[in-house]
């Protein structure tokens, strides 16, 4: 890929390892009995979608989830629920990103919410004490753009904002529908499997 200048990464399932089942367990623990129906690995529904597409603020989500749980949930309770998704933040991947940054512009495009990003963009993100922003040129999140992947709108927002040329851009995501949309927009794509060490495959592609 000689013309490649930009690499766009998904967050959950690519940069960090995730487990939907662990998240369901955490939400059930804080009192959300039907978490299993509400949570999806790639695309949320109901309340969980509304906080990811920016319809609800973190505080509105906390209040509505409290009503679902039938008890008052604190911000910390809800954060612990969301962080149930995050099973591991592999430092070897983050070190690899720093190597990639010497040659490429790196971006995040993620369906996520203010709870997870509040944690990821703080020093609590890794044992190295560096926030997610340290590793990327810019982070694009669904709740800030008010669009979720695989909707074309969130891709177009990033392309315009970062002045990306799709044929100079590689999109890395573990979600098949997201990969499909990136291809339709003219990007190169790579679909790793959540939990795998994808560095060698990506290096070979580059």
Provide the CATH number for the domain around residue 193: 3.40.50.1000
Kindly report whether the peptide bond that precedes residue 150 is cis, defined as omega within 30 degrees of 0.
Answer: yes
If asked whether residues 73 and 162 sit together in one domain, one would say: no
If asked whether residues 137 and 167 sit together in one domain, one would say: yes
Burial 57-94 (b: 16+ CB within 10 A, else e): ebeebbebbbebbeeebeeebbbbbbbbbbeebeeebb
Q: Give me the number of domains the chain comprises.
A: 2
Which tokens in the block code for residue 170? 């590689």
Q: Is it the case that residue 1 has pLDDT exceeding 80?
A: no
In a domain, 1, yes or no: no
- What mean pLDDT value characterizes the chain? 95
13: closest CA among 206, 205, 192?
192
**pTM across the whole model:** 0.95
What is the predicted pLDDT for the residue at 165? 97
Residue 173 is among the residues annotated as catalytic for this protein: no
Residue 114 or residue 46, greater confidence = 114
pLDDT digits (tens, 9 = 90+) for 14-57: 999 999 999 999 999 999 998 988 887 667 888 999 999 999 99
CA 189 and chain centroid, separation: 17
If asked whether residues 40 and 129 sit together in one domain, one would say: no
Average pLDDT over residues 99-116: 97
What is the predicted pLDDT for the residue at 144? 98
pLDDT digits (tens, 9 = 90+) for 119-169: 999 999 998 899 999 999 999 999 999 999 999 999 999 999 999 999 999
What is the residue range of 195's domain?
6-16+89-205
- Show the CA angle centred on residue 59, arms to residues 56 and 65, nearest 5°: 80
Q: Is it the case that residue 78 has pLDDT exceeding 70?
A: yes
H or E segment and range at residue 48: helix 46-52
Catalytic position from the list 10, 53, 77, 174: 10
What is the predicted pLDDT for the residue at 134? 98
What is the predicted pLDDT for the residue at 19? 92
Domain containing residue 70: CATH number: 1.10.150.240
If asked whether residues 58 and 113 sit together in one domain, one would say: no
What is the predicted pLDDT for the residue at 42? 66
In a domain, 56, yes or no: yes
Distances (CA, A) of 160 to 23, 164, 166: 34, 7, 10
């Amino acid at each position: 890929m000689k013309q490649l200048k930009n690499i766009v990464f998904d967050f959950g399932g690519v940069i960090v390892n995730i487990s939907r089942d662990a998240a369901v367990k955490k939400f059930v623990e804080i009192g959300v009995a039907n978490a299993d129906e509400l949570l999806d690995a790639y695309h949320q529904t109901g309340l969980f979608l509304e906080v990811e597409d920016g319809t609800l603020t973190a505080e509105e989500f906390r209040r509505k989830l409290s009503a679902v749980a039938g008890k008052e949930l604190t911000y910390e309770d809800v954060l612990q629920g969301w962080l149930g998704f995050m099973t591991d933040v592999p430092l070897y991947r983050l070190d690899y990103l720093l190597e990639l940054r010497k040659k490429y512009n790196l971006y995040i495009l993620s369906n996520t919410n203010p709870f997870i990003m509040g944690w990821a963009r703080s020093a609590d993100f890794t044992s190295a004490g560096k926030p997610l922003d340290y590793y990327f040129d810019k982070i694009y999140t669904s709740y800030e753009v008010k669009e979720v992947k695989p909707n074309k709108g969130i891709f177009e927002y990033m392309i315009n904002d970062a002045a990306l040329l799709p044929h100079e851009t590689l999109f890395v995501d573990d979600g098949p529908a997201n990969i499909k949309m990136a291809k339709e927009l003219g990007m190169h794509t790579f679909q790793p499997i959540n939990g795998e060490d994808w560095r060698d495959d990506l290096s070979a592609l580059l």
